[in-house]
Structure 1
Amino acid sequence: MSNDLTLREGLELYRSKVSILKKGYAQESYRLASLLRSELAGRRMRDIQSPDIAKYRDDRLAQVSQRTGKTISPATVRLEMSLLSHVFDVARIEWGACETNPVTNVRKPKAPPGRDRRLLPREERRILRYCHAHPTEELFSLVVLALETAMRQGELLKLEWEHINLQRRVAHLPETKNGSKRDVPLSLKARDALTRLGVKTKGRVFCYTSNGLKSAWRIMLQRLAILDLHFHDLRHEATTRLFELNTMDVMEIASITGHKSLAMLKRYTHLQAARLVKKLEGNRGRGQQVVLDHLIPYPAIADASTDGITIRVLDFDGLSVTAPSEAEALQRAQDELLRKLMVSIRDKVTVPPPDQYLDTVDESRIFMLDPLASRAISFGQPHTFL
């Protein structure tokens, strides 16, 4: 191997001998392409020093992405630098193209905090309604499975019928991102999402490609006016819900989600803390707590007409009251909401959490109606009653 190997030649060699053998080859190809466009590409690998890498880092952080119109994220630059470091290690050890790795001593951009975007209940209902009416019925099943199983997008798209046991309700993943196989339990909703597609004996479950799903997801969010929600956020939401079940420990959840490092599950520790609080309380006041957990404020709107003031509680179909005055309408609405919640608890009917309504309303008109409020404040004041 020549000692005069340029970085461009090293990157191409790395692509053909190392990168192509990786499962993430497609994603890594984009990073290699970015490195090939850099000013460093034409220089000999043995001549590149740490200050050159630092300049590359700073230049990249200042660049604007043509696709998003935003500056390149620190996470992207960190990944590019990690790849570049491995290229230099391979070149040094296997090709003899350089004596040192200049990336080693260069600071990487600070890692951004992990995304904590949660899927709002109303967003979930709107998304499921949209997907259910979508001409491609696979979209609905994909979203349901993502929320029920915490599988990655790539794992869902590679799912094959021969690896699904509907009787035992288990989906086997022979190949995952971290290189290990795993079995994923299927809830009843997940099983139904699969059976509605028409069960087969073999072959891929979904015909969607990665780019096809990205396009369908992007169009849906635009039409529903939902901001900053990635398909991968459904995996985070599903994992969060597994913790909120309070029935499994971290190791059991990791076996379902496929998180190889428990450090990746640190973002969910606050949910464990809430679980420990309940354990500290034991059985004391459990019945009271169950009731109080349901008696919470719900979004409502008020309209004036010739008949008086009408208040409508958005999450309950048909729950509206009309009274001659504002104060009387508020009092009646509180009473009706309290009665609705208590009857639901008595009859063991599922009570919807707040903010799941699908009506299109002016957000500025919404106020929170508290069924336990000791006094009512004019709904002209923003957002809440105390």
Structure 2
Amino acid sequence: MATISARKGPDENDKMVVIGYQAIVRKKGHPSQTKTFRAKRDAERWARQIESEMERGVFVQRTESEQTTVNNLLDRYSREVLPTLKGGYREQSRIKALQNGLGAYSLAALNSSMIAKYRDKRLSTISEKTGRMVGPQTVKHELGLLQRALKMAVMEWGIALPGGIPTATVKKPGLPPARNRRLVDDEEERLLAACAEARNAWLRPVVIFAIETAMRAGEIVETWKLNKKTGKREIVSIGLQWSEVNLKKRTAHLPETKNGNARTVPLSSRAVAVLEALPRNLDGRVFGVTYEGIHQSYVRACRRASITGLTFHDLRHEGISRLAEQRLTILELQAISGHKTMQMLLKYTHLRAEDLALKLK
């Protein structure tokens, strides 16, 4: 049975008056539960709920989840988990957004309705970074981060959530159609001709290599980012190294990738020819240039070639689609592209209907 007792304290005249009610629930097989309320009816309601949960075998210890805010949770996640993740630095802006919107709530109070309201508010917010509306992909990443942090709290840190993980029942924002930009007609010839005219001699071999291998930009060339906290540029990826290339076996090994898994990429005859024609850099890099060093050159080359809407990352789409057209299996495509899920791989694979038609009888 629950015990409800009045709690007294001095008023402004130092007279002892009732300032609240303490409810204590004791039941064999469960730790004693205590909580204080302003009103007696609230104490009684809480005690009845706890007793009912204990009797039905669904009681969850709330103390730690009531004392831990979303701010506390995300600070700990940032401190203990992000440093262990490849590309964990990308999560910092998402953590900041979540803390601004939900940080003050305790984990015990957090529910799906609050998270849904956060989702809707974010989708109607203008980003300080871009000056445009926050996109559904951004919000989806933020909700995914919150869900991972809550799972970590339950599974690793021993913080029980009375109502379960609330993000699990919140509908994720609908995403716009995936990009399906590919090189069409004579665009590849025009692009490579424009790249050959560029002052940056590395541009043309990098573009060809990107198309032939379907590798990410950071897997091909050295990539840097600006650390907003320190104001200094930091290296994100070192790019492809000669020590990881085997021209005899026609492979390029990538020990570190965006998703954290190493993989070995097979090289086509055209990719091998590109590598064989390159000078050897003393620093070990295959391509002696950074992504920042070729990005503007690539944009200008597209402009000279009268090609619009073709980003450097679209070359990865092109490469994966060409591999798929060579009738490689899904497992073979995943091994080359490095995608962990079929869903992500399919977003990058865009087969031309006219090419498929040639295979039909």
TM-score interval (norm. to shorter):
0.5 to 0.7
Change (3 A) 1:205 1:3: farther
Change over 3 Å in CA distance of 1:136–1:55 after alignment to 2: same
Q: In structure 1, which of residues 3, 7, 11 is the aligned counterpart of residue 74 of structure 2?
A: 11
1:112 Cα deviation from its structure 2 partner:
3.0
Give the whole-Å Cα distance in 2 for the aligned partners of 1:44 and 1:176: 36
Amino acid at match of 1:232: H
| 1:56-90, Cα deviation, whole Å (9 max, x unpaired) | 10011111234444322211111110011111222
State the shift of 1:3 in Å.
5.0
Take 1:160 and 1:117, find their aligned partners in 2: how far apart are those partners?
29
Deviation at 1:118, TM superposition (A): 1.2
Asked if 1:74 corresponds to 2:155, the answer is: no
Which of 229, 235, 256 pairs up with 2:336? 256
- Counterpart position of 1:29: 92
- What is the aligned counterpart of 2:313 among 232, 238, 245? 232
1:92-114 alpha-carbon deviations (Å, 9 max, x no partner): 33334561422121111123332
Distance in 1 (CA, whole Å) between partners of 2:291 and 2:270 is 23
The Cα of 1:163 is off from its aligned counterpart by 1.0
* Superimposed CA distance per residue, residues 223-253 of structure 1 (whole angstroms, 9 cap, x where no aligned partner): 666443222211111112223345x344333
TM-score normalised by structure 1 residue count: 0.62
Q: Evaluate the alpha carbon distance shift between residue 105 and residue 260 of structure 1 in structure 2; reply closer, same or farther with a 3 A threshold.
A: closer
Residue among 77, 80, 89 paired with 2:151: 89
Aligned equivalent of 1:107: 171
Decide which of 45, 58, 65 is 2:120's aligned counterpart.
Answer: 58
Distance 1:168 1:64, change over 3 A: same
- Over 3 Å counting, the alpha-carbon distance change for 1:93 and 1:240 in structure 2 is closer
One-letter code of the match for 2:197? Answer: A
**Offset of residue 164 of structure 1:** 0.7
Structure 2 counterpart SS, 1:95:
coil
| Residue number in structure 1 paired with 2:198 | 134
Alignment of 1:163 onto 2:234: no
CA distance in 2, matches of 1:129, 1:52: 54
Please give the secondary structure, in 1, of the residue aligned with 2:168: coil
Given residue 188 of structure 1, which amino acid in structure 2 is its aligned partner?
Answer: S
1:40, 1:26 → 2: CA distance? 21
Equivalent residue number for residue 274 of structure 2:
193
RCO greater where, 1 or 2, for CA within 8 Å and sep 6 or more? 2
Aligned pair count reads 278
86-95 vs 10-19, which moves further = 86-95
Alpha-carbon distance in 1 for matches of 2:95, 2:202: 33
Contact in 1 for aligned 2:324/2:351 (Cα 8 Å): no
Q: Partner letter of residue 40 of structure 1?
A: L
- Between stretches 63-72 and 47-56, larger displacement belongs to 63-72
Q: Does 1:144 align with 2:225?
A: no
Q: Quick one: which amino acid aligns to residue 259 of structure 1?
A: H
Distance 1:8 1:66, change over 3 A: same
1:103 aligned counterpart, secondary structure: helix
Query: 1:23 deviation in Å?
Result: 0.9
SS at match of 1:183: strand
Taking a change above 3 Å as real, the CA distance of residues 269 and 241 of structure 1, as seen in their structure-2 partners, is closer
Contact 2:180 2:350 in 1 (8 A): no
Give CA deviations for 1:321-375 in whole Å, capped at 9, x if unaligned.
xxxxxxxxxxxxxxxxxxxxxxxxxxxxxxxxxxxxxxxxxxxxxxxxxxxxxxx
**Distance of 1:146 and 1:94 partners within structure 2:** 40
What is the percent sequence identity of the aligned residues?
A: 39
User: Does 1:184 find its partner at 2:248?
Assistant: no
**TM-score calculated relative to the size of structure 2:** 0.66
Alignment of 1:261-340 (within 5 A): 261-266=341-346, 268=349, 275=356, 278=358, 280-281=360-361
Given the superposition, is the C-alpha separation of residues 48 and 250 from structure 1 closer, same or farther in structure 2, using an over 3 Å criterion?
closer
Contact 2:69/2:104 (<8 A) preserved: yes
Counterpart contact for 2:198–2:301, Cα < 8 Å? no
Q: Contact (CA 8 Å) 2:200, 2:294: kept in 1 or not?
A: no
Q: Does 1:44 align with 2:106?
A: yes
Please give the secondary structure, in 2, of the residue aligned with 1:42: coil
- Asked whether the equivalents of residues 78 and 108 of structure 1 are also in contact (C-alpha less than 8 Å), the reply is yes
Task: Provide closer, same or farther for how the CA distance between residues 272 and 125 of structure 1 changes in structure 2, counting only shifts above 3 A.
Answer: closer
- Report the CA distance shift for 1:148/1:70 in structure 2 as closer, same or farther (over 3 A): same
- Structure-2 separation of matches of 1:220 and 1:238: 19
Q: Deviations over 1:131-166 (max 9, x none)?
A: 323333222222111101111222213211011112
Matched residue SS, 1:137: coil
